[in-house]
């Protein structure tokens, strides 16, 4: 009886090191893809929105100050 129980548990969990490394890599990739990347992406979007709300924006060229144009 003890042998059949241990063989059943062996069938449930992969014993090959290569298979365990593959599963760990897939889990790690999914963790990065679904947790870390959206946090960075949405954090960056929120930071840009805060800059725009403050009036700084992300333009490469500065805008001219509003007012009458200066005569030469």
The mean per-residue pLDDT over the stretch 6-28 comes to 78
- Report how far apart the first and last C-alpha atoms of the chain are (Å, whole number): 100
**Residue for token digits 């992406």?**
41
Q: Report the helix count and the strand count for the chain, using DSSP H and E.
A: 3, 0
Contact 69, 63 (CB under 8 A): no
pLDDT digits (tens, 9 = 90+) for 22-48: 999 999 999 888 888 888 888 888 888
pLDDT for 25 equals: 94
Supply the pTM of this predicted model: 0.40
């Amino acid at each position: 009886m003890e042998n059949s129980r241990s063989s059943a548990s062996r069938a449930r969990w992969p014993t090959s090191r290569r298979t365990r490394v593959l599963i760990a890599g897939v889990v790690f990739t999914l963790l990065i893809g679904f947790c870390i990347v959206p946090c960075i992406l949405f954090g960056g979007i929120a930071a840009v929105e805060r800059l725009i709300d403050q009036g700084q924006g992300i333009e490469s060229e500065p805008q001219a100050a509003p007012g009458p144009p200066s005569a030469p």
